[in-house]
Structure 1
C-alpha cells in the first residue's frame, strides 16, 4: 500500500523563542526561522502546517517544534487517517496496545505517529490511552477474552495487539479478562516462520490501509507477519523495498519467505513458485503462482517485478 506524498512544508516568518507546556499533551517550542524546508516524506516525517516533530528541528524550518508524548492505543483497532476526518484516506491502522507518539490535537483527533514504524497520521482522540508496557503480543488472527470481570462482554484483540497480564495456568489474566496463552507470544520472542503467520490470514478481505483479519493490504500483511518473526519493517511497499533485508540477484533461486516487489504491491513466497499476498485483484489474502501474478501485472507495467529481497 502506498500513500501519495503531500506537498513539502512551508517556512513561516521569524518569531520570538517561547515555550508552552500542556499537562494533557505535548510540549510546544517556538524557534527562530532561518532556513527553507527540505523535501521530506510526510508518511514517516511528522510535520504539518506550522508544527513539526522536534526530531526534525535540524531538517525543517517551522514556527513550532513539538516534543512527542507517548500514548498507547486503547481500542481494538484504530484507523490512522491522512487528515482529521472519517472520510479521509486510510493511511494505516494501529492495534491495541501499540505505542503512539502524540504531537497535537485537532477537533477530536490526535496527530502523531506509531512508534513501531513511525507512520504519521490522525487517530480519534478517544482511541488513545495512557502509556503502558506489554508482556505479550497476540499471534492468532483474532482472540477473545474469557472470564471477564463483572459480566462484561468478551474483548477482541487482533494479531499484533500488545497486551499485559499475569500468567495463570494456560491463560494470561488481563484487566479485560483472560486470554489463551496459545494465542500469544511473549514480548521479546518471535515465531519461527513469518510465512506461517501470513498463511493464517488467508481469506481475510483486502482493504487498502488495513492491518487486521477484518481487512488488510499487501504491505500490511508483510509488515504484520514479519513483525511476529522479529523483523521491524516499514509500512508501505516502496519503503519496504528500500529497506527490508538484502536484495537478491535476478537469477538467484527463490525460497520461502522471500519478498517480491511489484509496482505498488508486495508479496512473499510461500515456496519456490507460489506467491502469498493480499491481492486487490482477488479481493483477499491468497496464494497464486508467481508466474500468473507477474503476467497479470506485466499487462500494465513494462517492469512487473521491481525487486526481490530476503530477510535473514
Structure 2
C-alpha cells in the first residue's frame, strides 16, 4: 500500500483513498531493478529476473508500482519491462545461461540470462528452444526438478560481483544469494536478511555447524559450506566468496560485540 492507493486484497485491513485489483504480468527482460522510487536514479530495493511474476497496482508515467509474486517485495519497475509471456516450464540453474541464435554453440549469442530466469521451451537435441533463441540444456532444467543442496547452488555464483539489491543479474547481494539458492531447492524464502532469520530452526550454542546452515550477522547472512567455511556475497570482497567463518567474525569484531547474531538450520 501507499498513502494514495492499496491492493484491493488489503481492503478489509487497511484504509486507502483508492484500491486497485492487481494486474498480473511477468518480467520480459533478463533482469530489471525493483526500485524504491519511480526513477532510474532511485536506489534498487531488489531485482527481478526473466519470467518472474509481478503484480501491478498502479501504472503511471512509464513506471509500474506493485510487487513480485515470488516474495511480495514492493517497488517500481519500468512499465516496458513487463508483459505477458508463455507459462514458464524451465529455469536457469547455471550462474548464467547463454541464449544462442541457433542450436549451435558457435552461433551468435543474442542474450545472457541470470540464474533463476524462467522461460518456456521445447527440447531440440542438446538445446532448449525458446522464443528468443536456444539455451544449452546444461544451463537449465525443468522448473519442477528441484535441487537438494542450496550450498551447491550458491557456490556456482562464487566470483560474481556483489551488487546491492541484486538477485543474480550482473551481481547479487547477501540475502539475494540465500533467496536464490533456497529457491532452486524448492524452499521459498523472503527477501531481506531480517526476514530470513525466521527460516528453519535455531542451532543451539556449541552445536557443530554443518553444510546448509544459515549464519546471520548485523545486516548480513551467509551459508555454511561445511563446519568452518562460509559462502556469502559481501561488500568487503565485493564478490561472492567462500572463506573461513572465523575470518568473517574477526573482521566484524572491532565494530560488533556480537558478530554472529543468529544461526539457523534449514536442512534436516
Q: TM-score range by the shorter chain?
A: over 0.9
Larger Rg: 1
Distance (whole Å) between structure 1 residues aligned to residue 10 and residue 180 of structure 2 = 27
Matched, 1:227 2:163: no
Unpaired segments ≥5 residues, structure 1:
1-46
Matched, 1:299 2:234: no
- Cα deviation code 1:98-154 (max 9, x no counterpart): 0111111131111011100111000011100115311100001111122449x9861
Give me the CA root mean square deviation: 1.6
Choose from 158, 161, 182 the match for 1:202. 158
SS of the residue 1:305 aligns to = coil
Within 5 A, what are the aligned runs for 1:217-256? 217-242=173-198, 244-256=199-211
Distance (whole Å) between structure 1 residues aligned to residue 113 and residue 170 of structure 2 = 11
Choose from 73, 79, 86 the match for 2:27. 73
Distance (whole Å) between structure 2 residues aligned to residue 262 and residue 252 of structure 1 = 18
Q: Which runs of 4+ in 1 moved over 3 A?
A: none
- The alpha carbon displacement at 1:213 in A equals 5.6
**Alignment length (residue pairs):** 264
Within 5 A, what are the aligned runs for 1:1-312? 47-148=1-102, 154-212=110-168, 214-242=170-198, 244-312=199-267
**Normalising by the residue count of structure 2, what TM-score does the alignment of the two structures yield?**
0.94
- The alpha carbon displacement at 1:288 in A equals 1.5
Task: Pick closer, same or farther for the CA change 1:66–1:132 going to 2, 3 Å.
Answer: farther
**Normalising by the residue count of structure 1, what TM-score does the alignment of the two structures yield?**
0.81
Unpaired segments ≥5 residues, structure 2:
none
